[in-house]
Structures are given as structure tokens and as C-alpha cells.
Amino acid sequence: MSEQALAPVSSGNSPKFSGGPATSGASKTRSSKWIANQRKLAPWLFLAPGVVMFLVYVIAPIGQSLWISLYEWDGIGVKTFIGIANYIELIDDEAFYTALYNNVLWLVLYMLAVPAGLLIAIFLNQTVTGIRIYKSLFFFPFVISQIVVGLIFSWFYAPNFGLFTKLLEFVGIEGIAILADERFVTYGIIVAGLWPQIAYCMILYLTGLNNVSPDQIEAARLDGAKGWKMLWYIIIPQLRPATFIAVVVTIIGALRSFDLVSIMTSGGPYGSSRVLSYYMYEQALSEYGFRMGYGASIAVVLFAIMMVFITLFIVRMLKDEREGY
């Protein structure tokens, strides 16, 4: 393993490098070369396993997706090169815009999980008997599978017997089936998605709150800070790392939302709750989906959108590191 990993990075050295025992003179020059380059080589050696994994499982599939997106291919037969025709078709595809719009909705509304998580975290950050139980209960939705969340909410919204429908009837609104109504369906699914996401943000903030410095709070209190001012100027700035992570996971979570759409509506009614990832699945892999090329082009678009955010995060992280946060 180590020799294999060594091979590419040590190619500039003597070809006998990994050979058996040799004369003392040669071994002296070799070891001195090793010593001379050790500092340069060592990081690459340690990085090698990760780099290889990253190349094989991340970079290569990206390349493959880009490549497949230029073909007309049903996944089993012959591939035909069609250039950018798949992308041209996307521009003229209403279903694609519906999915894109829904992704934007997801992105915007999903961000509510961050302040909501913070609120609950602050609320739970106290020492009362049994607080651990309350914390675990609030954290519970994040522990259960998204599939289960989807099923629970499907029943919650179900026409006729669903709890939500009964509640609506109680306040005098009748005959609304959230998941069958193009106006509400995406919001309905996002609410289901928020339930575990809020719990996730909450746990991030709870750990963050543990690290808030008591001295600063004490000092602020002496200076007369209370309530909102205390929260805004003293607590939240100290929660910056937690906020950063919460925003990142929420954005990524919104863009890759798939399970809930699949389990709750299968993209319906008539495709009005589709998101890009689900549309990609539908076109390429589902029961009626035999269009690998088209699916891949949707995946590429989704990747491009994610890239915008990922780049922003990375730039931000590098900047922070340089400034020494």
C-alpha cells in the first residue's frame, strides 16, 4: 500500500528507490535524497488515500456526468453523441422550470430552520430538572429516517382522516388536501422537511451555546445589556461557527431534498412538487425513465447551482482561516 502510494510522488527519484538493500554509497545518496525531500513528500503521502478516494468517488463521477449529459442514452443500449442538445431541451422544458422554482422555494424557506433552531436552543439552554429529556425529545425528529418523517406527514395531511385536515375543518376550511393541491404541495413538503432540520440546527446551537464565554456575558451584564441586545451583540456573534455550519447544512439539505418529495408525492400532482434531484431521478432511473443523458444534464445544472454555494463557503472559510478565527 505505502509503496503504491509512494510510486507516483517519488517518480522523480532514482528508479531503484524502492529496491532491496544496496551498496552503502548508493544508499547514502538515496537516503540523503529522501531526507532532502521528506518534508515535501510526507504531506502528499498522508494525503494520498484521501486524494485517491476523492478522485475516484467525487471528481470522476462529476466528469462522467458531464460526459453522459452530451449523449442520448437509455442506460442499456447504444449511446449517441448529441452535443449540447440535452441542455437546449432543458431551456424549453416547463417541468425543469417548475423543479428549479421549487428548489428556490426550498432554499429560501428551509433557511427558517436556522433561526428556529436557535430559538429552541436558547429556550432549552437552561438547567431545569429533566432538561436532558426535553432536549432529546426535541432532537428526536432528526434521529428518525426521512422516510418515516415523510410517511408521518403524509398521514398528517391525508384527506378525510388526517389530523391537519381535521384541524382545518375545525376552523371551517374544508376540502383541502395539501399534497394533492398544486398551490400548497411544495410548502407542505418543506414543512415536513423543516421538522428534522430545525432539530439539527438546534443541536448545533446547543453545542455552540456551551462554548459561549461566561465572562463576556458577565461583562455585558455589568454594562447593562439585556434581552435582545444581549442576544444580538453578545451571544450571536459568539455562535458564529455554529451559524456557519447550520447555514451550510441547511443549504445543502435544501438542494439535495429528494426523499420527502419521493415518499410524499412522487413529484405530483402532475409534477408540481418536483425538485431538480427528483426530476433527474425520474428522467434517468425511475419506472418510466430511460433518459440517462437528459437526467445527467439536470444533475449538471444542480451541480452548477451547488457549486455557487460551495465556492462561497470555501472562499469564506479560507478568509476566516487567514484572519485566524
The residues that touch another protein, with contacts defined as CB under 8 A, are 74-78, 89, 92, 94, 147, 151, 157-159, 175, 177, 179-180, 182, 259, 262-263, 265-266, 268-271, 282, 285-291
Burial class (CB in 10 A: 0-12, 13-18, 19+), 37: middle
On whether the CB atoms of residues 130 and 281 are closer than 8 A, the answer is no
Residues 278-295, buried b or exposed e (16+ Cβ, 10 A)? bbbbbbbeeeebbbbbbb
Residue placing its CB nearer to another protein in the complex, 88 or 315: 88
The three-state secondary structure class of 14 is coil
Least distance CB 90 / another protein (angstroms)? 12
Q: Which of 121, 263, 102 is nearest to 183 (CA)?
A: 102
Would you say 145 or 311 has its CB closer to another protein?
145
6: helix, coil or strand? helix
What spatial distance separates the first Cα and last Cα of the chain, rounded to whole Å?
A: 37
Point out which residues pair with 81 in neighbouring strands: 71
Dmax (CA) for the chain in angstroms is 95
Instruction: Report in angstroms how near the CB of residue 64 gets to another protein at its nearest.
Output: 17
Cβ closest to another protein, residue 10 vs residue 86: 86
Q: Which is nearer to another protein, 5 or 180 (CB)?
A: 180
5 or 95: CB nearest another protein? 95
Q: What's the min distance (Å) between Cβ of 271 and another protein?
A: 6
Output 169 or 182, the one with its CB closest to another protein: 182
**CB 209 to another protein: min, Å:** 35
Grid cell for residue 189: 413538503
Q: What is the DSSP string of 164-212?
A: HHHHHHHTT--S--GGG-TTTHHHHHHHHHHHHHHHHHHHHHHHHHHTS
- Nearest distance in Å: CB 86, another protein: 11
Partner residues linked to 71 by β-bridges: 81
Q: Least distance (Å) from another protein to the CB of residue 218?
A: 50
